[in-house]
Structure 1
Amino acid sequence: MGCGRNDDVLGTTDTRGCVCDVVRAIKDIQDNAEDVCECPKNCFQEPLGSLVSPARRTNADTRVFVLKTADGSPFHAFFKGKDCACVSIFFRVEEVFDNCCATLRVIKPITKENGQMAPLNMVKNCCIDLGSFCELCGFESTNDCITVDLNCFCAVQCIADVDLGICE
């Protein structure tokens, strides 16, 4: 099973990719708060809040994740900052529908120093300087969402379980 899998071991055709399955699982975990202990950090880890170390945060309402494209680069989206458009690679799943489409909320990264957005330096107007995330210490919700076809991605990485106050 890999990116864009077409045939499973039984020879049946399945056009859904594993990214779709993982994002659906993240949505289910966000919607359900069960107390189950499992091992190391992965996107299927339950309950919501269990990615937080060393102990589970009982008030987490979001599993922040990153999607990667076929070339391994992180997918990004724009959100409205105070005075300009900003870029983020972090998302929260809001809804999964139809044939693996999803509405994702863009999540703003926060730095340690002053609670401002982490610097996301654009290189040649196309690539994100991933080193700029080294000072990342938290996340903040935005009002910006994007609709995506989950079959267009080859990887998903869960970053953290956080309380963004979305469910209040």
Structure 2
Amino acid sequence: MGCGRFEESTSTGVLGTTSGRCVCDVLRFIKDIQDQVTDNDCPACPTNCFLEPLGGLVSPVSTQFDTRVFMLITKDGTPFKAFFRDRDRCDHDCFSVFFRVEDIFDGCCATLRVLEPLDKHGHEVNLLTECGTALKLSKICEVRDFRSSSSCITVDLNCFCGIECIKDTYLGVCD
């Protein structure tokens, strides 16, 4: 599925490209469980995007959650990044690889809220290199929490090869 992966056709036995709907299906599922916000037992695989209910990525489940944070992976294997409007007007570290699904429409398009990455002390994490031109992947490891931004992006989910669920959290998006 997706990224030009070839799959055998069941009717003809011929190889052909498929229309990568995997990421789209996962985000539909995440959107459904964000809308439900119910309790359930902890599953065996702690970062499976298909875990229900919201809170399943956290152990133990002891608080209320409204968001499943995820990253999208591009064709070259790197995390997709997006700009967000930063609350600090003095710095320029306003790119993130973390998202919350807000809506899915027209088959496989989605509106995603860009989430501000925070360290264990609640300070934002600059994910860019010193010159600010590329992602510094090692900085992703410093991220422990998230803050909702006011920035959203609309994407074609068929353009991504993978999705990695990171954490279930409460952002108070609808408060």
- TM-score bucket of the superposed structures, by smaller chain: 0.7 to 0.9
Q: Deviation string for 1:71-123 (max 9, x for gaps)? A: 0010000011121551000000000000200000000011124x221121236
Is 1:101 aligned to 2:109, yes or no? yes
Matches within 5 A, 1:1-168: 1=1, 3-4=3-4, 7=7, 10-11=10-11, 15-37=19-41, 38-41=43-46, 42-53=48-59, 55-81=60-86, 82-83=88-89, 85=92, 86-113=94-121, 115-122=122-129, 126-168=133-175
Q: Deviation string for 1:129-160 (max 9, x for gaps)? A: 01112222210000000000000000000000
CA RMSD of aligned residues (A): 2.2
Q: Percent identity over the alignment?
A: 52
Asked if structure 1 preserves the Cα contact closer than 8 Å seen for 2:112 and 2:154, the reply is: yes
Kindly state the Cα deviation for residue 58 of structure 1 after the two structures are TM-superposed. Answer: 3.5
2:167 counterpart SS class: strand
Deviates more, 1:157-166 or 1:124-133: 124-133
- Answer with 1 or 2: which has the greater Rg: 2
2:32 counterpart SS class: helix
**TM-score, length of structure 2 as denominator length:** 0.84
| Unpaired segments ≥5 residues, structure 2 | none
| Unpaired segments ≥5 residues, structure 1 | none
For residues 8 and 62 of structure 2, what CA distance do their matches in structure 1 show?
37
2:84 counterpart SS class: strand
For residues 168 and 11 of structure 2, what CA distance do their matches in structure 1 show?
37
Please identify which structure carries the higher strand content.
1
For residues 135 and 10 of structure 2, what CA distance do their matches in structure 1 show?
40
Asked if structure 2 preserves the Cα contact closer than 8 Å seen for 1:88 and 1:109, the reply is: yes
Asked if structure 2 preserves the Cα contact closer than 8 Å seen for 1:5 and 1:15, the reply is: no
